[in-house]
Amino acid sequence: MLTLLVAASVEAQVVFGVPDCGQWVKENTQPRKAWLLGFMSGMNSVHMKGISSPADPLDKLNTANQMFLWMDNYCKNNPLDSVADGAFALYLELARK
């Protein structure tokens, strides 16, 4: 018989709904970053289904950290907006390039 005892601190945070820029600037947490990645992936999936062009706007990013830094700047400049507003702005900027 094998008994394994693991002691670890477990912390969970669930984000429902759209975070606002005030929340993003104050507490840029992993769940909020995961929300942004999922939201951008979802927008990209819908966009790519609707066009015949092979151009993927998200291919213009080298890392997710670029997206997070862009959102940091957006939210600092637009504190009353939602992160979704920023995500749309970023996606449109990438699609135009």
pLDDT per residue rounded down to tens, the chain (97 residues): 443 444 444 444 454 577 889 989 988 788 889 889 988 988 877 766 656 566 788 888 899 999 999 999 999 999 999 999 999 999 989 988 8
Number of domains in the chain: 1
> Is 39 within the bounds of a domain?
yes
Question: How many other C-beta atoms can be found within 10 angstroms of the C-beta atom of residue 97?
Answer: 8
> Is 72 within the bounds of a domain?
yes
What element of type H or E holds 68?
A: helix 64-77
Q: What is the pLDDT of residue 83?
A: 93
> Is 77 within the bounds of a domain?
yes
> Is 85 within the bounds of a domain?
yes
Cβ(64)–Cβ(33) below 8 Å: yes
> Is 41 within the bounds of a domain?
yes
**Confidence (pTM):** 0.75
For residue 70, the enclosing domain spans 28-49+58-96
